[in-house]
Structure 1
Amino acid sequence: MAFTTLQEMELPAAFDAHVHLRDGDMAQLVAPTIRQGGVNQVYVMPNLVPPITTVEQCLEYRARLRAIEPSVDYLMSLYLHESLTPDTIRAARKAGVTGVKSYPAGVTTNSSSGVLDYALFYPIFAAMEEEDMVLNLHGEVPSTPSSAPLSSSSSSQPAITILNAEPAFLPTLTDLHARFPRLRIILEHCSTGAAIAAVRACGPSVAGTITAHHLSLVIDDWAGDPFCFCKPVAKTPEDRDALLRAVVHSSGRFFLGTDSAPHDSGKKRGEDKIAAGVFTQPYAVGLVLDALETGVERGVVAEADVKKEVLEGFLGGWGRKFYGVEDTRGEKILLRKGEEEIVGLLSKAGLGVEVVPFRRRERTWKVTWK
């Protein structure tokens, strides 16, 4: 039966290779929604306040998450920071930590401790290559300050904005791969056709994640809605369509990393500066299926290309293979089209936070665990 006419389907439980679960009340609110979205295994981001920079912090954080939702497998990461040493990397690997996440300084939520010069971390990357750990790259460069001299924008180096911050980073990806060809590198939350091409141009040790929301959004969507604003921002329709095509023609090089990023609703609309992040966790698999269906209807991808093996690969199999992990539970999910209504506001009695999900009050696929 054709994908767009399916009313229900059974798939293996998904692996989400990029999630933000925060801590404290926010973790209490969002961690229980992981399985609601059809996911039983996640790779957790380390940009807490303060960031997770030691093995002890990492293991303690995982214990807190397990106490909230024990039926999820949490793969953990360290925050790339000047305090890390090669010995830290070796100890992390021995303790079961999966990778290290790099944030360019100041580009997104809780990234003030991020990277200014990647060359300083070459000994860390060499140790990671030896230990077969994963380097996760937030692939943007910091924006040019608005106070910069006018002459800077007319030099050979263009001024950096949120629209070209990802393309400007891609030479760094290429350089790191050339220097450390065996290092497993993931370009996170690809948002442009250029990013897709850059990953494909690298060897098999480089892959990319794609979010559910970037498969749907373009510039005009987030320009008028703070709940669609994230970093990297959604770009042009052509970029969105390149991501859709990458899903179905991936050959395993791209897989799901939702970058689901919860923020208290007040920080998305009630403060002077809008927090960057789109919250998709409770509806992760359904949102991907919706985006692919829209892509078929618009003629971006062929219906025949949205095969079950493609869905199984993008939603879990390809990510697990790249990370070298298995779904030891072997769980299955049953999805029913249009039977889930996305809540307008996620909240829980006794917690001091509440979150507005992506595509609030719309309908998507409902997940039932088998």
Structure 2
Amino acid sequence: MSEEKLGLNTICTHVGEIKDEQFKGAVSPIYMSTSYQFEDVDVKRYPRYFNTPNQEFLSKKIAALEHAEAAMIFGSGMAAISTTLFAFLKAGDHLVVQNTLYGGTTNFIREEFPKHNIEYTFTNGFNVSDFENAIKPNTKLILIETPSNPLLTITDIKAVADLAKSKGIVTCIDNTFASPVNQNPIDLGIDIVMHSATKYLGGHSDILAGAIASSNEHIDTIWNVGKNLGGSLSDFTVWMLERSIKTLGLRVKAQNRNAKKMAKFLDAHIDIKKVYYPGLKSHPQYELAKSQMKGFGGMLSFELADGLDASQFQKALKLIKPSMSLAGVESTMLSPHKTSHALLTQEQRDSLGISDNLIRFSVGIESRKDLMNDIEQAIHSVKKSQLIS
């Protein structure tokens, strides 16, 4: 049966599995070898070449999820991003970067590109006109992220892809926040999709990995750089990631439902100043999000009311974990200015609207009532402590 006709959960469960021909086990066997025969074989396998059996077959699953011809697995999301950017950019080239972007990617560009004489321009906004205004004659690549981290801004994927195609520019997107369950940018014209597989693809806060999906031609270009940079992943982690993706559709859809309810709850709360979630009708890009996403995702951000300390609030939580990273089955919160965007200067964060009172909320699969009760008791605890002091 064609992969195009398979349902999401069937792809998650069965595409890219390795058949256990010897013992007929129900799950893929794991091949831990770092040394393979090179004579009289069709494929000369080597872990750094991204082509061990587990790497090869998991790549097929991710490609199928993103409606791509091929995919690659990396040791981290930043390994996937950095390898991709260096594969398409050389000295004298120019990159257009969306200004609302993951802080680690922003820091990488600002610190590493000048060393290689690669030019870059951060857009003034995330409308298609902002990208068009940033394009130069030597622009080779456009990088976007939607929904963005941490303010959940929405970029018009098809409009940016169409603009780039009209000028012969390659496009890539960080699709981590949406996941393949909620958004498939290749269907909208994007050339390369990137993921921190640590997040929704892994989903259990126990895997560090990255992934890209694209055409065979673009994957070959990235592979040629990747084999030199060495950002490959151990086969045990590859095996764990394949196991985790089997429940991707179930997990993300549950997180979608929870996040939408939590966003509405927070939006109506007297002690919450502002909520950022594309599934709220008050979100400025709600209609755009609805048109290009199949679900609004499990991520949201909010600002506490003036006078309520974000650090004290997170320390008062009893169920929700104040913890780094995101997208696990457990709910977590963090302050972006101390974590994901800590490498940016205060001025850079201020220009992006990332305040010290902003909290990013990765909604898990727990009972919504329990999550609401935890937030209520934490706010009450902060108010009580401030009143006493």
Q: Note whether the superposition's TM-score is higher than 0.5.
A: no
Could you state the TM-score of these two structures normalised by the residue count of structure 2? 0.31
Q: Which has the higher contact order (CA 8 A, sep 6+)?
A: 1
Normalised by the length of structure 1, the TM-score is: 0.33
